[in-house]
Amino acid sequence: MPKRYEVIVIGVGAMGASTCYQLASRGLSVLGLDRFDIPNTLGTSHGQSRAIRMCYFEHPDYVPLLRRSYELWRSLEKENGQQILHVTGGIWFGPAECELIAGSLSAAKEHGLDHQWLNHDEAIKRYPQFTVPEEFVGFYEPQAGVLLPEAIITAYARLAKQLSATLLANVPVQSWEADSSGVVVQTTNGFYEADKLVICSGVWSEKLIKDLGVDLPVTRQIALWVQPEREELFAIGAMPIWAINREAGGMYYGFPVLDDKPGFKLAVHNPGELTNPDKIDRVAHPQETEELREMLSRYIPQANGEVLEASVCMYSNTPDAHFVIDHHPHYENVFIACGFSGHGFKFASVVGEALADLATTGRTDLPIGFLGLGRFVN
Ligand SMILES: Cc1cc2nc3c(=O)[nH]c(=O)nc-3n(C[C@H](O)[C@H](O)[C@H](O)COP(=O)(O)OP(=O)(O)OC[C@H]3O[C@@H](n4cnc5c(N)ncnc54)[C@H](O)[C@@H]3O)c2cc1C
């Protein structure tokens, strides 16, 4: 008889790896299935760095989740014996009334978070790498920093396996069925059975929950690495993570040069052009990085050196750009975490905890009510 698991997790990316680890650490028998390698560069969790920040302009209700997220990142570091979070501070620039600045301030005030409001001259004096217009102010948050996504997924997967989870790479899930007695998952490698199912398959999630009719458009996102003229001005220690309001919507953002990784990384945070994750062109073309080069020449001219690399990634977007973490409305034993809309990585540690709570007890004390499926499904 094939082994029956307590929980199957579809997708062992950021959310899935953390969930497998959380479930295994509670003593459950877990099977994690990924269609590609663990980790891989084909979903949404590659590219060396992810920003974490606390004064959450997108919605202040994320702040309690972020507090727990930071705790869990630190405990992952202890357990894995490797630094995966570098606290660098974060500087944001823009007009006082833009969402980036006003939203960050409002989250900071509502939750009593450390922050500094800097007028233009104060901000530029502290960070002369930036040449932003006089009407821009600065908002600094000391707790912001950089997470290392590949190292994190590798660490969660390794620890989950040590705790006796089974993780299978290169096993695409084709379909699943559930009833009150359990779930059956069909893959290219045969069928697997479990009591419960967690779906966190990133940009491919819409296919696995198509019965719900939730619209999760996938967009193409480009990241660029350049060689600054004077690297010491942009190195970790000299440079915080940063973001600059983008007039056309969203923001430009980027990272200091990391110790063992080449280049100064930057990108646009705003949904890019619609794409199909199964057919996406994975080559970043020079015309796609023109806007970033132009932004560099305007706002961070000393970083505007030789292009070292450009990569293609994807966002899975919900209609309101907030995540979905919930029960499947038709099955009590199926749980879903998807639609991370380009800002989910920093939450992966706490999302794993929330999903493990749901899969073990059917509920969680973590405040995820505002991320329910009821926003989109009756
Ligand atoms: C360029 C870029 C920059 C970003 N910057 C930030 C940032 O600075 N800060 C931040 O917090 N967030 C950021 N994000 C967003 C963040 O990276 C994502 O929200 C997060 O990685 C989503 O994790 P996930 O587990 O949902 O997806 P993934 O990590 O992609 O995992 C999904 C996994 O499911 C697997 N899978 C899919 N379908 C199947 C199937 N049928 N069978 C088996 N396996 C399957 C895939 O292979 C994949 O490994 C960024 C995203 C991009 C693209």
CATH of the domain at 358: 3.50.50.60
Number of domains in the chain: 2
Same domain, 331 and 257: no
Same domain, 326 and 293: no
Residue with tokens 């999630």, as numbered in its chain = 205
DSSP 236: B
pLDDT band of 378, cuts 50, 70, 90: confident
Minimum-distance ligand 1 atom for the alpha carbon of 221: 1
Q: What is the CATH number of the domain that holds 258?
A: 3.30.9.10
Whose alpha carbon is nearest atom 2 of ligand 1?
Answer: 313
| CA–CA distance, 231 with 300 (Å, rounded to integer) | 13
CB of 10 within 6 A of ligand 1: the answer is yes
Give domain status of residue 343, yes or no.
Answer: yes
Would you tell me how many other CB atoms lie within 10 Å of the CB of residue 292?
21
% of the chain at pLDDT higher than 70: 100
Residues near 82 by Cβ (< 8 Å), separated by ≥ 6? 151, 155
Answer with the one of 316, 339, 365 that is the final residue of a domain.
316
CB of 341 within 6 A of ligand 1: the answer is no
Q: Are 193 and 204 in contact (CB under 8 A)?
A: no
Residue 20 lies in domain: 4-46+150-214+320-375
| Tens of pLDDT, residues 40-52 | 999 999 999 999 9
Same domain, 104 and 127: yes
| CA–CA distance, 309 with 306 (Å, rounded to integer) | 9
Same domain, 130 and 263: yes
What is the overall mean pLDDT for the chain? 97
pTM, two decimal places? 0.98
Span 13-35, average pLDDT:
98
Minimum-distance ligand 1 atom for the alpha carbon of 33: 43
pLDDT(260) > 90: no
Give domain status of residue 101, yes or no.
Answer: yes
Helix, strand or coil, per DSSP, at residue 271 = coil
pLDDT at residue 173 in the model: 98
Same domain, 39 and 184: yes
Sign of CA dihedral 191, 197, 198, 202: positive
CB of 14 within 6 A of ligand 1: the answer is yes
Minimum-distance ligand 1 atom for the alpha carbon of 201: 34
Give domain status of residue 244, yes or no.
Answer: yes
pLDDT(62) > 80: yes
pLDDT at residue 331 in the model: 97
pLDDT(99) > 70: yes
Q: Are 115 and 135 in contact (CB under 8 A)?
A: no
Q: Which two tokens stand for residue 227?
A: 């060689």
pLDDT(3) > 90: no
| CA–CA distance, 320 with 309 (Å, rounded to integer) | 32
| Tens of pLDDT, residues 139-186 | 999 999 999 999 999 999 999 999 999 999 999 999 999 999 999 999
pLDDT at residue 1 in the model: 58
